[in-house]
Structure 1
Amino acid sequence: MNDTLLLDPVRILRGPGHSVQRGAVLIHQGVLVGFDDQARQQALDLGIKASPAPDQLVAPCLVDPHSILETPFSGDQETAVSLRHCAAAGGYGQIALLPRSSSSWRDCPERLQGFSLDQDQTASVRLHLWGGFSRGGKADELAPHGDLLEHGAIGLADDDAMVPITLLERGLLLGEMGRCPVLVAPRDPDLQGEGLVREGVETLRAGWPADPITSETLPLSQLLLLHQRHPERQLRLMNLSTAAAVQQLSGCELPPLSSVSWWHLLTDRSMLASSNPGWRVCPSLGGPGDRQQLIQAVQQRTITAVAVHAVPLDAEDMLLPGDQRPAGLSGHHVVLPALWNALVRPGRWTVEDLWQALSFGPSALIDQPSEQLEQGSRRWLLFDPDQGWTISSHTPGAPRAANIPWLGRELQGRVVACGLTC
């Protein structure tokens, strides 16, 4: 797309609390410089003719509250550079990275270096860092929370399982995190055992080991009690995945902010062939009832945010049997069109619902200001809901990872432009 043009008419969503309006937007050299009559006058002065785009949408950038990047600086796998490229192609302006790394757990200040935490907030894809709650992610000793936060961590987290309750409460009582968020996954690996998919008929038919619902609901009960006992802390819940968890959260008078993976809103155990790599995710996929309750909970804002929770895997990983392969999917560029087709196109969600789930809610979860359209800013995206494309590892903006879902599938809707630099 030309980086200087007048979109008129076009649909516009300016930010949280706004509704979608029709109007005009002037983009000049990648910068949003004006709206409506002001944009039309500026375009006239510059000799720019209007480009009608009545079905397209100009909106704020998206935010991913948690993903994993194990090789951030070098190698053939996903790096910070390639991740930013994929993020910009998918309209993501911010990604918060969990502490897991193949070389060193981000549990001390020196391991936060190299990510350019002082990035230009107006022009680039921002990478935030969660600092480790425990040393080495081993969940037996507290990391230096105050030092991590002082040196740029946005909050504290560990991996995709719950920190032992005694260690978690000790950290909350010491309180070095102050009001910074603490992100915890309500998953008990001991209760999950060898289970890969939530218990159910389809799980038995596919031959997968079953993951009991209690592997999520029991740790969630403990976390909700901690949330009540420590209202001065900002406990956050990561990757809820069951209808039972939604019911538990709905029963709280003031529930903690929480997230769900985008894949759990699109897929359940009844929708995938046993050979499909989309089975192998963490937390485990549930049934149709789980998916529908999660969708409703996000729309009603019981669940705060939809996360990408990308876990890049290489080609060798994908050759392993499903029960031996690391869990996870990648592909920030697939998320917006996939959810648009599943929820907005059939009329289940509004555009405002979707941006609350993919941008404004995630900003709240990581305690950052909401993205919004502003004059003089490059933080905008242009989404065409009608442009068709084929998901491929060679698609412009695709990640280096080999675990992109739906390879070869035709998808409708695409981010056709974004003002961000990678």
Structure 2
Amino acid sequence: MPHTMLLDPVRILIGSDQDPIEQGAALIRDGALVDFGDDARQLAQREGIEAQAMPKALLAPLLVDPHSVLEQPLIGQAETLESLCRAAARAGYGQVALLPRAETWRDRVEQLQGFQRPELGVRLHLWGGFSCGGRGEQFSAHGDLLEHGAIGLADDDHCPPIPLLQRALVLGDMGAAPLLLAPRDPQIQGDGMVREGVETLRAGWPPDPVASETLPLGQLLELQRQHPERRLCLMNLSTADGVNQLKAAVVPPQASVCWWHLVADSGSLQPTETGWCITPSLGGPEDRQALIDALERGTLTAVAVHAVPLDEEDCLLPPGERRPGLAGHQLVLPALWQELVNVRGWSVRQLWNALCFGPSRLLGQPEERLEVGSNRWLLFDPQQRWRQSRQSADAPLAANQPWEGRELVGQVTACGLTTPEIRCD
């Protein structure tokens, strides 16, 4: 039997060029959008379909994650291709771009094969490896990678050697494709785990100097100035000083920020919480505020999930020995709705610019939007209460998910990619 529903009233965000429609209506059949507004109401009335009133909920385009990590796509214990796409879709993500870091580094054409799985719903994009094996010694065949499906080029979570970057930019085999680079110098960071500051000293964490971001960032900005025809993109900016550098740049590149840096800082976490172990290092309250302000002004282009799934064995290690990273696509929209919409007064359109439209621009992809006949939609209920649990059907497999056991407010209750039953009160 066809599964058909009329959401009326419901808030509707069609795309980046419109404000949300209040008291709107949408007819959905078998996961696909049939019609909006009065046409949807009239069609539903003719078919005898009873309306489901969800005036506080939001029907909106799917979210876009510009970079995350999947090291073992087929047989991973922490996460697989299927489990990642399932969890991402249930969280409202319609596109996920994977960084080249993997057991077999995605720096050759053959390593880009096997990821296009339409039955999984989520559109997967692949960043091709900028350097062979991510070692920063010689660059890969950039033109071949881009010709055979790579969305752009990226390296690991630190800046490759500047001479190597300079040569690649002069040769220009990447053309107009994005080159995603992390402004981080691991030698300056040393053993530092949390950004230097008063809160770090009080908590007893090894400090990570701000210069570990600002020095490589300055070099990258200079390279962008020298090569304005290239599309350098900055990955995971994390400090107030870095934001100031980016604002002052002559040719400012696009830049992303990890969602965790927008909701947590070294002054707000308990010492035993999972969120301390992350790259780049977690900053203080002033860093978090600067990042939020930069995102609101458009200095930062996109919010990334930057999921780095770890298994149980990895997470049993002490913080100083554990590989850094967090996972949890299902946490991002609820957390940022609370922080940016409820607390700071952002509009829905501003939030979607950070989570959907901006990431599409960074990836060079067409923006998501609601269209008749499409199943690319999500329904978010900002009042839905739920408890974060790794055992939930909506959760990824990864063991390094923050906020285990915590009650959260706001949840994606339905997504056209998964066509579940809509839960409403």
Aligned to 1:38: 39
1:253 CA displacement: 4.1
Q: Whole-Å Cα distance in 2 between the matches of residues 237 and 76 of structure 1?
A: 30
Q: Whole-Å Cα distance in 1 between the matches of residues 418 and 91 of structure 2?
A: 12
Q: Whole-Å Cα distance in 2 between the matches of residues 225 and 46 of structure 1?
A: 62
Aligned to 1:114: 114
Aligned to 1:183: 180
Aligned to 2:422: none
Q: Whole-Å Cα distance in 1 between the matches of residues 277 and 401 of structure 2?
A: 12
* SS of structure 2 residue aligned to 1:382: strand
> 1:60–1:379: 8 Å Cα contact kept in structure 2?
yes
Task: Answer yes or no: is 1:79 the counterpart of 2:86.
Answer: no
**C-alpha distance after superposition, 1:2-48 (max 9, x if no partner):** 95210011000001121111210111110011000111122123221
> 1:197–1:279: 8 Å Cα contact kept in structure 2?
yes
- Equivalent residue in structure 2 for 1:223, among 220, 225, 231: 220
Q: Whole-Å Cα distance in 2 between the matches of residues 217 and 322 of structure 1?
A: 25
Q: Out of 244-253 and 82-91, give the one that drifted further.
A: 244-253
Aligned to 2:353: 356
* SS of structure 2 residue aligned to 1:99: coil
Q: Out of 268-277 and 295-304, give the one that drifted further.
A: 268-277
- Equivalent residue in structure 1 for 2:366, among 366, 369, 376: 369
Give the aligned residue type for 1:42: L
Aligned to 1:160: 157
Give the aligned residue type for 1:140: E
Q: Whole-Å Cα distance in 2 between the matches of residues 360 and 281 of structure 1?
A: 25
Aligned to 1:4: 4
Aligned to 1:304: 301
TM-score, length of structure 1 as denominator length: 0.97
Task: Answer yes or no: is 1:318 the counterpart of 2:319.
Answer: no
Aligned to 1:388: 385
**C-alpha distance after superposition, 1:305-358 (max 9, x if no partner):** 000000000111111000100000000011000110111112431111110000
> 1:125–1:421: 8 Å Cα contact kept in structure 2?
no
Give the aligned residue type for 1:64: D
Aligned to 2:194: 197
Q: Whole-Å Cα distance in 2 between the matches of residues 85 and 287 of structure 1?
A: 34
1:254 CA displacement: 3.7
* SS of structure 1 residue aligned to 2:382: strand
**C-alpha distance after superposition, 1:96-122 (max 9, x if no partner):** 0000112x10000000111017x38xx
Q: Whole-Å Cα distance in 2 between the matches of residues 285 and 349 of structure 1?
A: 23
Q: Whole-Å Cα distance in 2 between the matches of residues 3 and 20 of structure 1?
A: 26
Q: Whole-Å Cα distance in 2 between the matches of residues 17 and 210 of structure 1?
A: 43
* SS of structure 2 residue aligned to 1:140: coil
Aligned to 1:346: 343
> 2:224–2:251: 8 Å Cα contact kept in structure 1?
no
1:274 CA displacement: 1.6
> 2:181–2:235: 8 Å Cα contact kept in structure 1?
yes
Task: Answer yes or no: is 1:139 the counterpart of 2:144.
Answer: no
- How many residues in Structure 1 have an aligned counterpart in Structure 2? 417
Q: Whole-Å Cα distance in 2 between the matches of residues 348 and 269 of structure 1?
A: 23
* SS of structure 2 residue aligned to 1:95: strand
**C-alpha distance after superposition, 1:240-281 (max 9, x if no partner):** 000001101111244100000000000000111222110000
1:75 CA displacement: 3.6
**C-alpha distance after superposition, 1:210-267 (max 9, x if no partner):** 0000000010000111111111111100000000011011112441000000000000
Q: Whole-Å Cα distance in 2 between the matches of residues 355 and 379 of structure 1?
A: 15
Q: Whole-Å Cα distance in 2 between the matches of residues 54 and 175 of structure 1?
A: 51
1:421 CA displacement: 4.3
Aligned to 1:58: 59
TM-score, length of structure 2 as denominator length: 0.96
Q: Whole-Å Cα distance in 2 between the matches of residues 80 and 146 of structure 1?
A: 26
In structure 2, stretches of 5+ residues that fail to align are: 420-425
Q: Whole-Å Cα distance in 1 between the matches of residues 168 and 3 of structure 2?
A: 49
Q: Aligned Cα RMSD in Å?
A: 1.3
Aligned to 1:243: 240
Q: For residues 328 and 18 of structure 1, do their structure 2 counterparts lie closer, same or farther at Cα, with a shift above 3 Å needed? A: same
Aligned to 1:212: 209
Give the aligned residue type for 2:407: E
> 2:274–2:401: 8 Å Cα contact kept in structure 1?
no
* SS of structure 2 residue aligned to 1:258: strand
Q: Whole-Å Cα distance in 1 between the matches of residues 3 and 233 of structure 2?
A: 39
> 1:65–1:366: 8 Å Cα contact kept in structure 2?
yes
Q: Whole-Å Cα distance in 1 between the matches of residues 197 and 70 of structure 2?
A: 32
* SS of structure 1 residue aligned to 2:167: helix
Runs of 4+ in 1 over 6 A off after TM superposition: none
**C-alpha distance after superposition, 1:166-188 (max 9, x if no partner):** 10111111111110000000000
Q: Whole-Å Cα distance in 2 between the matches of residues 224 and 3 of structure 1?
A: 52
